Structure 1
Amino acid sequence: MLKPGLPGFPSERLGALFAPVAAREKIALAVSGGGDSLGLMVLVGHWLKSWDLHPEIFVYSLNHGLRAEAADETAMVGEIARDMGFSFRELIWDEKKPTTGIQAAAREARYRLIAQAMHRDGVDILLTGHHINDQAETVLMRLAAGSGIYGLRGMEAISRMQGIEVFRPLLEVKSEELTNLLCHVGLRSVQDPGNIDEKFERVRWRKALGGLGGLGLDCDRLSVFSKRMARADQALRQMCDDLFASHVHVDQFGVLGMDQKDFFSQPDEMAIRLLSRMIYAASGGRGKGELAQLEKLVQALAVQDFTAHTLAHCKVAKRHDFIFVAREAGRIEGGQVLVGAGETIV
């Protein structure tokens, strides 16, 4: 299986793909048996061999029980993983399945069960097989859903889910490269019927993407676009952080305030981000408002007779030349306050 050399994946490229985890002592892989994740497992094996690295590799595969073949598929993954010298864990999703939103539910269960297994095994980073085609589909889906700059960054190479760090090393790799890789090493991947079922939005975008390539909107172009959005978002986020620190004030009751002149002197994008940040802080991190809601609220705040509005469990008010954001009274969690003899509280 670990044949000398891989077409398209010389040692230097493998080193660059997995550089962020080169110093890790334990690494987890999420492997379903599909072409993407099997390709990831093969690449990891060749990377370790070509760079003479010896971390402990844990392969987690979910038996979701949604198809009769699920148990055989995880067994196949386990056999390949053990042949490569990796530790293997089969995870079983034996909870009651929802009647709608099954893909989202299965995805949530997968990461949750993997996170639990990782904690037991003492592993703190998970590698997934998401590639450049997945990134292109994600960007198109979010664009159609009305996402702003933040969402159009697509998937981040490194993020957190279910309390674990997730690394996607293949976001610059095409799905065709992984298909060719598996052919080269003689592995056949699992074919999930859900990946061609057009009742799922991602499948529809996958098919549409093929036609968009002829117009110049291919995976490479969309990947570059997502990186530019990420760069713009990083700059805007830093500007918002600086303005929040210098212009937003918090009183002893957790009410946030900002001078109206300072707020309305900002470009619309920055005003939206500041308001979202104020709501997030006031709500204790429980919400920040949807982009379309925030856009409407910023416009409403500019109207002379605006008084108050509720969003994400927070009350946004304009009073005495200030914009105030506070958590709704009914959403404030009460707590015990011990008062000693002779002490008073306000």
Structure 2
Amino acid sequence: MRRLSATLLDERLARALAPFLDDSARPALLAVSGGPDSTALMHAAARSGNDRVCVATVDHALRPGSVEEAIGVGHLAAELGLIHTILTWDAPRHGSRIQAAARGARYRLLADHAARIGAHLVLTAHTLDDQAETVLMRLIAGSGPSGLAGMRNERPLAPGIRLARPFLSIPKADLVAYCERHQLPFLRDPSNTDERFTRARLRRLLPLLAEEGLNAARLGRLAARAGRDDAALRQRAEAVLSRITRTDERSLRLDGDRLRREPSAIVLRVIDAAFDMVALAHEPPVPKRLERLETLVLDALLPALAEGRAVRRTLRGVLIAADGEGTIRLAAAPPRRAPDRRR
């Protein structure tokens, strides 16, 4: 891989950050773990001239020494003239999906802290390598265009707060080189090589795929192309949903006769968005499964609409029913009865 000169590398990071740090009217919050990626983010942001940049480190307390690591980030932040805060995840941990739970907790803590300090933006240091891993994980999981679009450059994080990933097109090796050239200390997270976790196993696989031409850059381009298609499909689905929807106090009603004239890719997205509207208050949120949505829409709902017959299904805590006359109704599914264990 071609390495950039020190000057070109400095310029590349500065250009990537500029759109997010040019506005100094409100603070921007950097999520810094102490690894090379986020350390480079913090250093480059400190050199930007924006004096409203703040730093937060989330201590997940998942391994010994995590507090000391967070304190070390604080020392470097202080040297760079940045205010640093440690956010601790101290909730009980249950189940086997500890990394997913930690990720959710991290974003909640960052959003809450951003709101406290008046920040409108949270910046993370996800790289092209992270994007490639995400796309590959979703490809393995059978995702459609929305999933294959990977991580977005920007997305809403909380009301009035956006999450941005300015380094998403930059290889991790460039950020390691940046730290080394500026003599910045950084940490290496042992979980990155712990093969109990899917991402760690994929990191071992990616070099083999790169030998066949499927490298991080190509996976990144796949994400960009899928993202363009996803945006177009989403825009059309939103327009269709707004035209065919009626609501009352207890349900959402769709004009199924109009909906079934749309391409199946649009129908899937309209029904998925309708499920989201009804299931907003469902706690905990029910995971989405594209295969289940496809089975419901393609194998049950659309044939029923075409044949003018009724159908009822439940998915993600939502009851969906077509009445045989072209109307689709969605409402919260009634709670399941607890099994009678009396003998």
Query: Normalised by the size of structure 1, how large is the TM-score?
Result: 0.84
Counterpart of 1:297 in structure 2 is 296
Secondary structure at the aligned position of 1:309 is classed as strand
Quick one: structure 1 residues 38 and 13, their matched pair in 2 at CA, closer, same or farther if it must change by over 3 Å? Answer: closer
Q: Alpha carbon RMSD of aligned pairs, Å?
A: 2.4
Instruction: Give 1:43 shift.
Output: 1.7
Quick one: structure 1 residues 328 and 90, their matched pair in 2 at CA, closer, same or farther if it must change by over 3 Å? Answer: closer
- Structure 1: distance between partners of 2:332 and 2:68: 52
- Structure 2: distance between partners of 1:194 and 1:16: 28
Counterpart of 1:65 in structure 2 is 61
- Structure 1: distance between partners of 2:150 and 2:194: 23
Asked if the contact 2:13–2:44 (Cα under 8 Å) also holds between the matched residues in 1, the reply is no
Displaced runs of 4 or more, over 6 A: none
**Aligned match for 2:236, one of 236, 239, 243:** 239
Asked if the contact 2:58–2:87 (Cα under 8 Å) also holds between the matched residues in 1, the reply is yes
Counterpart of 2:326 in structure 1 is 322
Asked if the contact 2:245–2:253 (Cα under 8 Å) also holds between the matched residues in 1, the reply is yes
Structure 1 portions without partners, runs of 5+: 332-346
Quick one: structure 1 residues 223 and 12, their matched pair in 2 at CA, closer, same or farther if it must change by over 3 Å? Answer: closer
Letter in 2 for 1:202: R
Counterpart of 2:90 in structure 1 is 94
Instruction: Give 1:99 shift.
Output: 5.9
Quick one: structure 1 residues 57 and 6, their matched pair in 2 at CA, closer, same or farther if it must change by over 3 Å? Answer: farther
- Structure 2: distance between partners of 1:71 and 1:242: 49
Quick one: structure 1 residues 283 and 216, their matched pair in 2 at CA, closer, same or farther if it must change by over 3 Å? Answer: same
Instruction: Give 1:317 shift.
Output: 2.0
Asked if the contact 1:124–1:165 (Cα under 8 Å) also holds between the matched residues in 2, the reply is yes
Counterpart of 1:337 in structure 2 is none
Instruction: Give 1:231 shift.
Output: 0.6
Structure whose alpha-carbon radius of gyration is higher: 1
Moved more, 15-24 or 166-175: 15-24
Query: Normalised by the size of structure 2, how large is the TM-score?
Result: 0.85
Quick one: structure 1 residues 59 and 259, their matched pair in 2 at CA, closer, same or farther if it must change by over 3 Å? Answer: closer
Quick one: structure 1 residues 187 and 284, their matched pair in 2 at CA, closer, same or farther if it must change by over 3 Å? Answer: closer
Asked if the contact 2:310–2:324 (Cα under 8 Å) also holds between the matched residues in 1, the reply is no
Asked if the contact 1:249–1:257 (Cα under 8 Å) also holds between the matched residues in 2, the reply is yes
Structure 2 portions without partners, runs of 5+: 336-343
Secondary structure at the aligned position of 1:324 is classed as strand
Asked if the contact 2:9–2:174 (Cα under 8 Å) also holds between the matched residues in 1, the reply is no
Counterpart of 1:341 in structure 2 is none
Asked if the contact 1:18–1:169 (Cα under 8 Å) also holds between the matched residues in 2, the reply is no
Q: Tell me how many residue pairs correspond in the alignment.
A: 321
Asked if the contact 2:56–2:85 (Cα under 8 Å) also holds between the matched residues in 1, the reply is yes
